[in-house]
């Protein structure tokens, strides 16, 4: 057990974070790495701010118009578009036709998402160098990849009830050793 919520975010919470290595190939599961407050902030930002970022890509062409009004106290949605919104990408946008990432198709990467992803990678690095995961054969290699991690591409999925995420292999990533951070 690692006390990590304060390391990963600015929350005052110090809930216990559990880190598991499920496969020797570098699949790690961090449970409770983010506090409920941080998750709530991430969730609200994903619903209220990110659909209106102009440099993002999404499955809904007019997703920037999903948010009709937004201020600190109230927001109103175009429900038709929000019901169709399934994903938004930031940073490098994957080109499905060419199966590649292009510099010319790179947008803004949200600061909040970058900060949280980087902090999660740092937490994992600490556990790989000084914690229970240090005994793994490739622990130092994984830790170095976490230490140099800079998030450059992201997909935010908007799941509805009874939907699932399909697994796939990313074969065109620039850095195959960089962590892939998934937050649920």
- List Cβ<8 Å contacts ≥24 apart for 75-78: 75/48
CB 66 within 8 A of CB 75: no
Residue 55 has pLDDT above 80, yes or no: yes
Closest CA to 9 of 123, 90, 98: 123
Going by pLDDT thresholds of 50, 70 and 90, the confidence category of residue 105 is: confident
pTM over the 0.85 mark? no
d(CA 164, CA 76): 27
Residue 133's CB is within 10 A of a number of other CB atoms, namely 19
Domain segments of the chain as ranges: 35-157
Mean pLDDT for 94-105 is 85
Q: Dihedral of CA 132/135/136/138: which sign?
A: positive
What's the pLDDT at 61? 60
**144 vs 108, 127, 136, CA distance in Å?**
25, 12, 14
- List residues forming the annotated binding site: 168, 170
Structure tokens at 11: 């929350």
**DSSP-derived 3-state class of residue 167:** coil
Going by pLDDT thresholds of 50, 70 and 90, the confidence category of residue 121 is: very high
- List residues forming the annotated binding site for Fe cation: 168, 170
């Amino acid at each position: 057990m690692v006390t990590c919520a304060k390391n990963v975010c600015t929350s005052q919470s110090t809930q216990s974070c559990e880190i598991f290595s499920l496969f020797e190939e570098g699949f790690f599961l961090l449970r409770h790495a983010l506090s409920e407050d941080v998750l709530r902030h991430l969730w609200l930002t994903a619903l209220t701010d990110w659909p209106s970022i102009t440099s993002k890509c999404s499955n809904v062409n007019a997703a920037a118009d999903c948010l009709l009004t937004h201020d600190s106290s109230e927001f109103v949605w175009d429900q038709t578009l929000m019901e169709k919104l399934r994903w938004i990408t930031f940073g490098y946008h994957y080109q499905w036709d060419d199966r590649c990432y292009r510099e010319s198709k790179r947008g803004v990467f949200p600061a909040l998402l970058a900060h949280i992803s980087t902090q999660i990678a740092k937490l994992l690095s600490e556990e790989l160098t000084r914690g229970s995961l240090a005994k793994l054969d490739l622990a130092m290699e994984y830790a170095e990849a976490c230490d140099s991690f800079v998030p450059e591409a992201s997909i935010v999925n908007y799941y509805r009830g009874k939907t699932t995420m399909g697994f796939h292999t990313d074969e065109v990533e620039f850095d195959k050793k960089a962590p892939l951070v998934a937050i649920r």
